[in-house]
Structure 1
Amino acid sequence: MFAWYKEVTSPQKKAIFSAWLGYVFDGFDFMLIFYIMYLIKPELGLTDMEGAFLATAAFVGRPLGGAIFGLLADRYGRKPLMMWAIVAYSVGTGLSGLAVSGLTLALARFVVGMGMAGEYACASTYAVESFPKHLKAKASAFLVSGFGVGNIIAAYFMPAFAEAFGWRMAFFVGLTPILLVLYIRSKAPESKEWEDAKKAREASGEVRQYESFFSVLWGALKGLFNPTQLPLTLVVFVVLFSIFGANWPIFGLLPTYMAGVGFETAVISKLMTAAAFGTVAGNITWGLLADRFGLKKTFVLGLLSSFFFIIPLFMIPEGNNFLLGLCLFGLMFTNVGVGGLMPKFIYDYFPLEVRGLGTGLIYNLAATSGTFNSMAATYIGLTYGLGTALTFVVSFWTFTLVTIIGFGIPDWLLVRANKKRAAKAAQVEAAQLETAQVLK
């Protein structure tokens, strides 16, 4: 089952491990606020709606951070920008510990969101590009499992730590990922796929050494939104928006829901740890299956399986913590775990020259769905109860994903785009040949 691991070279292992560690700390820094928000709200005088917004406020900074880091990663390399992104989200987490109001906390979380988005844009392209073609789904899933590991650490250890030492100290712990930058700088290689493409562009004279940032941005945006690529860019956005709508309300609001119905802090911590373990196990399992059975079939199977856990989740009798933990594990294993295939999904639909920007901008624009749907679920929950609201929101977006992926809409658009690119390339080649003949 793991014979494929022998095919991975030492530089490829260092690359994926470096990116994975970045994801571990990314998950820790980003998820930390969800588990200690109940301590932050009374001290800063926040309402439930304000708390729901601030817990997900990092999403607001993600499109900007993803666009900047992704664009620069396409231009200057995946590795150096991944390092700077780690520094950004670590500093943002440390600043969260200095917040004196809802506004200052929101600004700090905005910085976290920018860094997190940049880290995703750089690390996901870096990891998938570094692995052999037939193993890219495994690289994608293993990478994303790091976020779940960071979530486990935050869920299991930090609520008790925050109660003992204060929620500010918990945020200061989030500064430690900066040390990871030293490891990446000394051990991790650059993406070979990116390096080879850069050499090819330099040899053909496509790269100008003193090109301004705005001219680079304009060229990249044209590559992302030209008539041929635009339909693919839009469908990728809808898929990503849907997957954030299907899983982030659970991530963001479930601890608040359980605290509101009387669960003790220690119980919530254990239940969310079980959920996080489900995410990690799901990431790895679906990644192993995807390279064998195909990404789209695996993705749809995982999403359909999640309905076995979404529907009964809020119907479990009070006090049956074991059954609730089992259901949470299953939901995260399926609904969230299959999301580990997203870096590979994005890789398939964005050309290399705009892949960093595409991942950074489109993925993180779609990530605002996390804030939108968490707020929507909170609002609906005021009337119908948070459990009913979460069931509705998660089910709606899961069904949307199954429909889009199940009917093969992205693949149909990709085939059409490739035909247009091939036709255009043939026209350019014919024109060049005609010019050469005239000159003779």
Structure 2
Amino acid sequence: MEPTGEPAPPFGRGVVYTAKQSWKDLFIFKQRVEITNEFGETTTEWAKPVPLRNPITLVAQLSIKDWLFFTVGFTAWAADAFDFHSLAIQQVKLAAYYGKTKTEISTAITLTLLLRSVGAAMFGFAGDKWGRKWPMVFNMIVLGLLQIGTIYAVTFEQFLAVRAIFGLFMGGVYGNAIAMALENSPSDARGILSGLLQQGYCAGYVGAAAGNLGVGAAVESWKLVFWISAGISIAVGLVRSVMPESRQFIEARAAKKAHTGQINSFWKETKSMLKLEWKMCIYVIILMAGFTYYAHAAQDTYTTFMLVEKELGNTNASKASIIMMSGGIIGGATVGYISQYFGRRRLIIIAVALSMCIIPAWILPNAFVGVAISGFFMQFFVNGAFGIVPIHLNELSPPAFRSAFPGVTYQLGSLISAPAAQIVNAVAEKVSITSPSGKQVNAYGPVMGVFTAIIAVILIITAAFGPEKRGRMFELAQAAGVVIPTEGKDVSDLE
């Protein structure tokens, strides 16, 4: 961002004032920014977005070490998604294996999502207090071991218990992964990197779909996909163990030794942060509830929809899933990159609105080609909007809590959206539709279409009236637990 020197009204402090200000800012191309001088004095100015640069030039700024941090963060998030979608994509197999309905199998998805927020809090605060490295190492290795535990769950009750514990550790990945990946990258490259990073989730989905395609349709073949995902998670943890701690975290913690200022305890500062930022916490949780409902509605039961309603068969359904999520990967990188110039909220709203326009084409085709192409464009915009989430959350986060805040708020949003797949399955199994062969089958398409459209409208409204801090700098942030006071000045907004 390029400050213009033109004074701007300060960021709103009240809920209604902030909502009105955010709505008006959507139609002002300049960005409201806070400028802090060397004396700790903060003023609010209008800033012009820097014109988009060649994306190759942007990513070329990253050093080899920066790329390693980004790659491990991306791979950790992809492995997390692979683990999760190993179950979601194979619901039909698991229902046959345990002799349960698809709705009962989707209970495991609900339990996983319910406990993710607890894991996000545990590992997020651990990452902000002790660093990004060892919490992630422990998290990824245990995640892999729990995938193996799922394979050896003999009864359905054991299966549900393991998946519930799995959710605890699944929730710990996101916050540390995005903090590590983005805080070690140049600020003007963070838009495109955010888009790429979020698509680790799509890459995990593609990996699970490819695994499902490779092992075939046999009922017990689901176990091999779980073995593959377990190996990837454990490998990521081992690779992270030989890498150094995040540079920004080390430099921020070094402030303890470099300054003679006050050093507060981590938990005291955490309490202070929650007291000051509780409104932002609630807003981001609502935003992420909308985003995660939106994604789960558009993704989790789509393979089941192709198998049951469209009668595509395991091979074609898996191929269509891979094509579909390839669109998500491209969309996330593209929209994330453009958001660096046009704004986070504007691009979220545009992408979500365009995905709504595609819903009829997404659920009506019967042929493989139609389903695959419409799925590609649907996920281009769904994950295009979601590709902005990592950088948007980091910019809205209290600077010292860029691991805990995004992780906890993201997973609390996921907690609210936990029943999404179960709702779709339950409603679809009570409504019938005529399949291409003339049989009466579960009406997944209409249910998914209506559900996704409702959530999309809510998400657009939430983004339109919410705050944005595009271009916020991470480099000046202190580590949690370190406070260097500026005499006579309010430092609550210092970055």
TM tier, shorter chain? 0.7 to 0.9
Deviations 1:212-254 (A, max 9, x none): xxxx45642441x31x311111111111000111111222111
Which letter maps to 1:381?
Answer: A
Matched, 1:148 2:202: yes
Matched, 1:181 2:228: no
Secondary structure at the aligned position of 1:311 is classed as helix
C-alpha distance in structure 2 between counterparts of 1:162 and 1:168, whole Å = 12
C-alpha distance in structure 1 between counterparts of 2:348 and 2:315, whole Å = 33
C-alpha distance in structure 1 between counterparts of 2:306 and 2:262, whole Å = 56
CA-based RMSD: 2.5
2:91/2:102 contact within 8 Å kept: no
Matched, 1:233 2:281: yes
2:336/2:384 contact within 8 Å kept: no
Which letter maps to 1:430?
Answer: G
**Equivalent residues in 2 for 1:132-147 (5 A)?**
132-147=186-201
Matched, 1:82 2:136: yes
2:355/2:378 contact within 8 Å kept: yes
Which letter maps to 2:467?
Answer: P
Cα distance change of structure 1 residues 206 and 393 upon mapping to structure 2, 3 Å threshold:
farther
Which letter maps to 1:229?
Answer: E
C-alpha distance in structure 1 between counterparts of 2:90 and 2:423, whole Å = 21
C-alpha distance in structure 2 between counterparts of 1:360 and 1:275, whole Å = 26
Which position in structure 2 is the counterpart of 1:15?
69
The offset of 1:189, in angstroms, is: 3.5
Alignment size in residue pairs? 409
Cα distance change of structure 1 residues 92 and 205 upon mapping to structure 2, 3 Å threshold:
farther
Which position in structure 1 is the counterpart of 2:12?
none
C-alpha distance in structure 2 between counterparts of 1:312 and 1:122, whole Å = 37
Unaligned 5+ segments in structure 1 are: 416-424, 433-440
Match of 2:166 among 112, 137, 143: 112
Secondary structure at the aligned position of 2:100 is classed as coil
Matched, 1:307 2:372: no
Matched, 1:131 2:185: yes
Percent of matched pairs sharing the same residue: 18
Matched, 1:51 2:105: yes
Which position in structure 2 is the counterpart of 1:121?
175
Which position in structure 2 is the counterpart of 1:347?
394
Match of 2:464 among 399, 406, 411: 406
Which position in structure 2 is the counterpart of 1:68?
122
C-alpha distance in structure 2 between counterparts of 1:158 and 1:217, whole Å = 44
Cα distance change of structure 1 residues 170 and 411 upon mapping to structure 2, 3 Å threshold:
closer
Which position in structure 1 is the counterpart of 2:346?
297
Which position in structure 2 is the counterpart of 1:422?
none
C-alpha distance in structure 2 between counterparts of 1:30 and 1:222, whole Å = 34
1:89/1:114 contact within 8 Å kept: no
2:194/2:333 contact within 8 Å kept: no
Which letter maps to 1:243?
Answer: F
Cα distance change of structure 1 residues 174 and 218 upon mapping to structure 2, 3 Å threshold:
farther
Cα distance change of structure 1 residues 92 and 162 upon mapping to structure 2, 3 Å threshold:
farther
C-alpha distance in structure 1 between counterparts of 2:369 and 2:235, whole Å = 38
Match of 2:423 among 376, 389, 414: 376
TM-score, length basis structure 1: 0.86
C-alpha distance in structure 2 between counterparts of 1:113 and 1:260, whole Å = 27
Matched, 1:324 2:371: yes
Match of 1:220 among 243, 259, 270: 270
**Equivalent residues in 2 for 1:258-273 (5 A)?**
258-261=306-309, 262-273=311-322
Deviations 1:349-380 (A, max 9, x none): 11132222212222111112442222222333
Secondary structure at the aligned position of 1:387 is classed as helix
C-alpha distance in structure 2 between counterparts of 1:338 and 1:289, whole Å = 11
1:162/1:169 contact within 8 Å kept: no
Secondary structure at the aligned position of 2:487 is classed as helix
Cα distance change of structure 1 residues 405 and 98 upon mapping to structure 2, 3 Å threshold:
same
Report which of the two has the higher share of helix: 1
1:14/1:189 contact within 8 Å kept: no
Which letter maps to 1:230?
Answer: W
Secondary structure at the aligned position of 2:230 is classed as coil
Match of 1:194 among 227, 241, 249: 249
C-alpha distance in structure 2 between counterparts of 1:352 and 1:162, whole Å = 47
Which 4+ runs in 1 deviate beyond 6 A? none
C-alpha distance in structure 1 between counterparts of 2:93 and 2:102, whole Å = 12
